[in-house]
């Protein structure tokens, strides 16, 4: 890693070492050592070819200017959805149990991630720097109210390096719904290195919906790792609208038979927003299903990357796996890099994948205009119709409306 980055990261660590060591233990030190040995990925890394995090961070973020202030003028409650559920608050990457509102029959506790094996530099940094992570555990046969997780970032007093960590365990026959939202204040850059791990036990169901509508100086790398047991179900919905960098890594491990995974996404981006979705589904047992649909609408100088991997292991016979990434590019300056990747070792499976990149359908546009509909409205009608399919699996009606409003505002003005 870049020597100045090493120094400042080490510096940050030393400043807080007392806290770190008192709250938990030596694994933080080994995480830091791992991180310092490895670089932020550059263009040379195949997985980050179009999203060179090292360059983006170098240009926009200064590890030496990280604030350690823990005060904020933010009124968390003002941002809560007015709905019955568990409202959980993070500030600058740390879970704040005292500021969260919990229904008393669910288990949400502060925790530390004591994982000793680190997948990559982001994983290791997250373990090294997350002071207080969130652990949600729902006991068997229980169906709790939804979880609203608010990730607040306050960069009024300096740059923020946030490392939120959430671990979710859904025990057998439970059903968990999660909505994640990020709210930021302040004008200094924010680098979010977020990790969420989900354990879906037999016959359980977990649904995570994320709205990513950040400010231009917010840069995010998000690792979502999911393990699924027999007959479990997992849904991921991700909607990205703005941000300096949005990188989502979604990795699903289907470890039992008859698993079901749905991945839906939409990126509607403009300006210089950069959105990169990397997904991987690992089918290891027979009779499982995965379905993936990501839609993109790109304008101005925006850039999108999609990479979807599906692995069907030799034992995973009778797997059904479908994947589709569809894009509309509205500008000459916008670009999309899309790559579907199927690796199949089993011989009795049904798999399909496809990517499309197209432009606004001029013929359709003329048809609507010839009926008296104004040009912008006609464009919006066509694009909203295109985007709508990605909203189907959102379990909350009000989130659908919220996203619909963002889309309309963006497209109609």
Partner 1 sequence: MISIKNLHANIEGKEILKGINLEIKAGEVHAIMGPNGSGKSTLASVLAGRDGYEIMKGSIVFENKNLLDLEAEERAREGIFLAFQYPVEIPGVSTTNFLKTAINQIRQHRGKKSLDAVAFLKLMKSKMKLVEIDQALLSRSLNEGFSGGEKKRNEIFQMAMLEPKLAILDETDSGLDIDALRIVSHGVNSLKSKDNAIILITHYQRLLDYILPDFVHVLFDGKIVKTGDKSLAMELEKKGYDWIKAEHGSLETI
| Footprint on this chain of partner 1 (rule: CB under 8 A) | 361-364, 366-375, 377-378, 381-382, 384-386, 388-389
Helices (H), 245-374: 362-369
Nearer of residues 251 and 377 to partner 1, judged by Cβ = 377
Minimum distance between the CB of residue 356 and partner 1, rounded to whole angstroms? 13
- Whether residue 218 contacts residue 194, with contact meaning beta carbons closer than 8 Å, is answered with no
Nearer of residues 37 and 385 to partner 1, judged by Cβ = 385
Minimum distance between the CB of residue 360 and partner 1, rounded to whole angstroms? 12
Nearer of residues 82 and 371 to partner 1, judged by Cβ = 371
Instruction: Give the integer Cα–Cα distance in Å for 188 and 127.
Output: 24
Minimum distance between the CB of residue 388 and partner 1, rounded to whole angstroms? 6
Instruction: Give the integer Cα–Cα distance in Å for 123 and 84.
Output: 33
Sign of CA dihedral 88, 103, 166, 206: negative
Minimum distance between the CB of residue 368 and partner 1, rounded to whole angstroms? 7
Nearer of residues 18 and 370 to partner 1, judged by Cβ = 370
Nearer of residues 157 and 376 to partner 1, judged by Cβ = 376
Q: What is the 3-state secondary structure (H, E, C) of 51-102?
A: CCHHHHHHHHCCHHHECCCCCCCCCHHHHCCCCCCEEEEEECCEECHHHCEC
Minimum distance between the CB of residue 398 and partner 1, rounded to whole angstroms? 22
Phi-psi label, residue 372: left if phi above 0, alpha if psi -120 to 50, beta otherwise: left
In what helix (H) or strand (E) does residue 330 lie, and over which residues does it extend? none
* 313 DSSP assignment: -
Minimum distance between the CB of residue 132 and partner 1, rounded to whole angstroms? 44
Nearer of residues 141 and 376 to partner 1, judged by Cβ = 376
């Amino acid at each position: 890693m870049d020597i100045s980055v090493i120094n400042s990261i080490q510096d940050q660590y030393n400043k807080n070492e007392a806290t770190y060591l008192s709250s938990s233990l030596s694994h933080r030190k080994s995480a830091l050592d791992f991180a310092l040995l490895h670089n932020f990925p550059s263009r040379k890394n195949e997985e980050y070819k179009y999203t060179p995090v090292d360059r983006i961070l170098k240009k926009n973020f200064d590890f030496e200017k990280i604030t350690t202030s823990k005060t904020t003028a933010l009124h968390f409650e003002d941002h809560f959805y007015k709905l019955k559920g568990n409202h959980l608050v993070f500030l600058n990457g740390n879970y704040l149990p005292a500021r969260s509102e919990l229904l008393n029959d669910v288990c949400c506790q502060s925790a530390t991630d004591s994982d000793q094996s680190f997948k990559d530099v982001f994983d290791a940094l997250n373990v090294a720097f997350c002071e207080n992570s969130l652990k949600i555990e729902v006991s068997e046969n229980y169906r709790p109210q939804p979880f609203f997780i608010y990730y607040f970032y306050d960069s009024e007093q300096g740059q923020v390096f946030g490392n939120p960590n959430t671990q979710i365990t859904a025990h057998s026959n439970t059903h968990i719904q999660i909505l994640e939202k990020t709210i930021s204040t302040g004008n200094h850059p924010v680098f979010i290195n977020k990790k969420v791990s989900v354990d879906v036990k037999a016959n359980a169901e977990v649904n995570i919906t994320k709205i990513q509508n950040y400010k231009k100086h917010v840069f995010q790398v998000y690792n979502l790792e999911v393990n699924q047991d027999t007959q479990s179900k997992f849904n991921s919905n991700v909607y990205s609208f703005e941000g300096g960098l949005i990188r989502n890594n979604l990795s699903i491990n289907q470890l039992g038979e008859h698993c079901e995974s749905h991945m839906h996404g939409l990126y509607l981006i403009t300006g210089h927003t950069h959105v990169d979705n990397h997904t991987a589904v690992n089918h290891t047992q027979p009779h499982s299903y995965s379905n993936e649909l990501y839609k993109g609408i790109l304008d101005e100088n925006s850039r999108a990357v999609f990479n979807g991997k599906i692995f069907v292991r030799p034992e995973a016979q009778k797997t059904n796996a479908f994947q589709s990434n569809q894009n509309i590019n509205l500008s000459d300056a916008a670009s999309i890099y899309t790559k579907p990747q199927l690796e199949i070792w089993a011989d009795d499976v049904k798999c399909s994948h496809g990517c499309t990149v197209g432009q606004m359908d001029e013929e359709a546009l003329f048809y609507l205009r010839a009926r008296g509909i104004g040009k912008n409205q006609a464009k919006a009608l066509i694009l909203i119709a295109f985007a709508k399919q990605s909203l189907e699996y959102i379990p909350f009606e009000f989130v659908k409306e919220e996203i619909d409003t963002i889309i309309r505002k963006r497209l109609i003005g």
